Chains A and B, each alone.
Chain A
């Protein structure tokens, strides 16, 4: 979140509300689910860390607003972020461990777990498609939905592999 906010400020100084609007736009339909306080909390953390500077700007009929600007070290960090290759979660680790535990304890049937999980992911995929149909195809929001959809499809394929593996294992028990 910190790097995201910093990168948004790299374009030009902005106040909290503007940043939030830019973020909401980049997220498309998911933008509505963004926690409104998160942007402000992050900004004050960044300010304490010396990565952004705030100045008060007087407004004629409203209270003063705080406009945030990147510091030199803030900009340095944004450049680092663009070069960073860390990737978010690559494998459905928890479900994998759940399957292993189910097979070991016999407290649940791994194949049944796979089947119900697969249906749940198919439902999610359906929702993503419905959201995507309502988005302009070239929007930032549509691109995020496409990413989410491709990941889900990969997870569903992985579940199909899991199913086959556990069916074969049962057969040789």
Chain B
């Protein structure tokens, strides 16, 4: 496998269960170590780093979003978001300010003082996205980020993901959800541990035909 993701690029990975797409994400995020091969992040080779140095590097440069949110139950929304900022040695005040800014941007500032079990699924995932972004990582890795969300909450997460590219952050999303996959710039299809197809989805297609078929009442009574 040979994969390069540009700054600001959104890439989706699809493929049947067991094709290795989650493993790919875990390798990129340092949750698993590669047996062979090279892994670079922002120009730094990371596969050879010691466990401690990799952990430090990862906290600053990689954000993770999971299907099951994985918020800390005992911490409020804002405390969850500021936690990674405190872990990299940021001041309490700066961490809180940045956390509140993000919660505000994601439309959940009003829920900042709530514990996760008081939040809806969509709110929890927005808090989780805020947490993943608090250290302004180079790359956001998302594993089935909308798997537990309804249609509207999915739309909100996709809208947020759409804004990442403008800040130059790369996004890599593993998903079964065609709606999520279709919003990426590039779609990778994996089978049996290999990338079998790569497609650019955005490339200059016109919406005229789509709109015409949507407005086609000829076949209706």
Contact = CB atoms under 8 A, between A and B. Distances in A.
Interface of A: 1-4, 27, 29-35, 38, 81, 84, 86, 88, 115, 119, 121-133, 137, 144-146, 148-150, 152-153, 156-157
B214 A144 contact: yes
Which applies to chain A's interface (DSSP): helix, strand, loop or mixed?
Answer: helix
Interface in B179-221: 179, 181-183, 187, 197, 199, 201-202, 205, 207-208, 210-212, 214-215, 217-221
A108 to B, nearest CB: 18
B215 A33 contact: yes
Contact of A2 (B159, B179, B181, B221): B221
B205 A127 contact: yes
Interface in B153-186: 155, 158-159, 162, 177-179, 181-183
Contact of A125 (B151, B162, B182, B212): B182
B182 to A, nearest CB: 4
A126 B155 contact: no
Contacts of B211: 29-30, 32-33, 131
Interface of B: 151-152, 155, 158-159, 162, 177-179, 181-183, 187, 197, 199, 201-202, 205, 207-208, 210-212, 214-215, 217-221
26 contacts: A1-B217, A1-B221, A4-B220, A4-B221, A27-B214, A29-B211, A32-B211, A32-B215, A33-B208, A33-B214, A34-B215, A81-B221, A84-B221, A86-B221, A115-B197, A122-B181, A122-B182, A122-B187, A125-B179, A127-B205, A128-B210, A130-B207, A133-B162, A137-B155, A148-B214, A153-B179
Contacts of B152: 137
A58 B208 CA distance: 38
Contacts of B215: 27, 30-35
Given A32-B211, A137-B152, A126 B218 contact: no
Contacts of B212: 33
Contacts of A124: 210
Contact of B178 (A88, A145, A148, A156): A156
A112 to B, nearest CB: 11
Nearest to A126: B182
Nearest to A5: B217
Nearest to A164: B16
Contacts of A130: 207
For the complex of A and B, 6 pairs with smallest distance between CB atoms: A30-B214, A33-B211, A125-B182, A126-B182, A33-B215, A30-B215
A133 to B, nearest CB: 6
A27 B216 CA distance: 10
B150 to A, nearest CB: 12
B217 A129 contact: no
